[in-house]
Homo-oligomer: A and B are copies of this chain.
Amino acid sequence: MAVVLAVLDTSPRRTVSSYDGPVSDIPPDLARLRSSIDNIDAALVHLLAERFKCTQAVGELKAAEGLPPADPEREERQVARLRALAHDSGLDPRFAEAFLGFIIAEVIHHHERIAGRPEQP
Contact = CB atoms under 8 A, between A and B. Distances in A.
A121 to B, nearest CB: 19
Interface in A19-49: 19-20, 27, 29-30, 33-34, 36-38, 40-49
Most buried by B among A42, A47, A65: A47
Nearest to A45: B85
Contacts of A50: 40
Contacts of A74: 20, 34
Q: Is the interface of A mostly helix, strand, loop or mixed?
A: helix
B45 A57 contact: no
Contact of A90 (B38, B43, B49, B82): B49
